[in-house]
Structure 1
Amino acid sequence: MTENTLRDKVAVVGGGEKNLGGLLSRTFAEAGAKVVVHYHSSESDAEQTVKAIQEAGGQAVAVQGDLTKVADVRRLFDTAVDTYGGADIAVNTTGMVLRKPILETTEEEYDRMFGINAKAAYFFIQEAGRRLNDHGKIISIGTSLLAAFTDGYSTYAGGKAPLEHFTRAAAKEFADRGISVNMVAPGPMDTPFFYGQETPERVEFHKSQAMGNQLTQIEDIVPIIRFLASEGWWFTGQTMFPNGGYTTR
């Protein structure tokens, strides 16, 4: 068993500039980790997150990159090694959602959705497996639609579905170095990521499918990821569904 703390650990957070990733970056830093904050296009959010961490006495650096490009994934981990001497935790919160009927989905949309939700996740896990220190932690963000289903999300849920097998395979392949690999699959989260795809009526429907008639709160997901990144060393190859009992008819 390794020491169950984040103090002086180095965490690489894909999509670590805002929403779930931003809160996670700040939480890791508060617990004593040094954080590599990845962002794609939201430079101002990344700068604000890094500034907030530094002003609170923590250490963080922002790295821009398109994680659908393997070279950018490698550069992200290069930054962790070059800046802080290594990496211990890798969390990929990135993803893209599209609600569109199958009959209306274009080839370009399909390729983009699977690039962001599947390809980027695969090579993030690959590079983390190469670069993390022994007893590291790899965590991916999936979707509760892997356990429940509704219309319109074929390319989103379909693009996230491979992460379950990526997670299981990596858990076996990296086990000899004590690296755990898990996926957290929340219900629809109360972030702009979700609202851009839904009507007010469907928002209320999704709320009705979970305990307490509410969407998933990022504040309820971060502690689970923190647990997996520190105390949760015995969990590996697992998909966790913290979704308030979310289901669909």
Structure 2
Amino acid sequence: MAEGSTTSDSQPRTALVTGGSGGIGRAIARRLSADGFSVAVHYMGNADKAAEVVREITGTGGQAIAVSGDVADEAAMVRLFDEVEAAFGGIDVVINTAGVMVLSTVVDLDLDELDRMHRTNIRGSFVVSQLAAQRLRSGGALVNVSTSQTRMQHPTYAPYAASKAAVEALTPVLARELRGRDITVNAIAPGPTATPLFLNGKDQEAIDRLAQLAPLERLGTPEDIAEVAAFLAGPSRWINGQVIYPNGGLA
């Protein structure tokens, strides 16, 4: 699809959700389908989970496909964008939820793990953002995903928060670089959210303690985050170059 092209009134809008087989990505893919989008559900390692999301969407009358690729591999992602455009005619929205989280104190951090995480969270975000900037149709939206840990400063989150701080720096700059294209670029930075990624390795005491941090006294849900992503993907054309913190009032 040529740069700057638009979606016709008769053609459904298309969304690509990276990490779409995971907790937050899955909720976003389902929500965007409910809003009328055709959805490309990206996965890296779990084809079965991605296929489940596709079945959920098509089972309710929506359109969806599963697509695979390493978000940090620019050649693989070019092929993926080509595949989505071939299936649906173009791409209007990219929600970039793919990410890796490594928890460690700074003093004990395995630097190989840092490199692995940064490859996905930083390089992957740049690769996806670059392709979105090149390929999104006019009226489109890119939504990157950060974390409220960039503000909360909890011990053991420094490596992860540092990688997501790069995403927060990238987002408003790209929004300004796309002046005149009618494409919004924003980021969402969730607080503690009840996903398998977040809950992994935490005992019930830790989960309960984290749930009490927010004034609303609960963990977020993937659906809470999907509401914000859907807003930025659709009606919120006057929000641009921002980082939104859906975290129940934590910070």
TM superposition score normalised by structure 2: 0.92
Aligned residue type for 1:15: G
Question: For the residues of structure 1 that align with 2:117 and 2:86, how far apart are their CA atoms?
Answer: 31
> Are 1:31 and 2:35 matched, yes or no?
yes
State which of 47, 50, 61 in structure 2 corresponds to 1:46: 50
Q: Percent identity?
A: 34
State which of 68, 81, 97 in structure 2 corresponds to 1:77: 81
Alignment of 1:159-238 (within 5 A): 159-238=163-242
Instruction: Give the CA deviation at 1:197.
Output: 4.0
Instruction: Give the CA deviation at 1:106.
Output: 1.5
Query: Counterpart of 1:120?
Result: 124
Alignment of 1:7-156 (within 5 A): 8-156=12-160
Which stretch shows the higher mean deviation, 96-105 or 159-168?
96-105
1:139-162 deviation per Cα after TM superposition (whole angstroms, max 9, x unaligned): 011100122211001111011001
| SS of structure 1 residue aligned to 2:118 | helix
Instruction: Give the CA deviation at 1:17.
Output: 1.7
Please tell me the root mean square deviation across aligned C-alpha atoms, in Å.
1.8
Question: For the residues of structure 2 that align with 1:150 and 1:178, how far apart are their CA atoms?
Answer: 37
| Misfit runs of 4+, over 6 Å | none
| SS of structure 1 residue aligned to 2:152 | coil
Query: Counterpart of 2:3?
Result: none
Which stretch shows the higher mean deviation, 131-140 or 195-204?
195-204
Query: Counterpart of 1:245?
Result: 249
State which of 155, 161, 170 in structure 2 corresponds to 1:157: 161
Question: For the residues of structure 1 that align with 2:250 and 2:201, how far apart are their CA atoms?
Answer: 18
Which runs of 5 or more residues in structure 1 are unaligned?
Answer: none
Instruction: Give the CA deviation at 1:20.
Output: 1.2
Contact 2:16 2:39 in 1 (8 A): yes
TM superposition score normalised by structure 1: 0.93
Question: For the residues of structure 1 that align with 2:202 and 2:61, how far apart are their CA atoms?
Answer: 39
Question: For the residues of structure 1 that align with 2:96 and 2:222, how far apart are their CA atoms?
Answer: 15
Question: For the residues of structure 2 that align with 1:212 and 1:27, how far apart are their CA atoms?
Answer: 23
Instruction: Give the CA deviation at 1:199.
Output: 3.7
Question: For the residues of structure 1 that align with 2:210 and 2:32, how far apart are their CA atoms?
Answer: 30
| SS of structure 1 residue aligned to 2:202 | coil
Contact 1:10 1:35 in 2 (8 A): yes
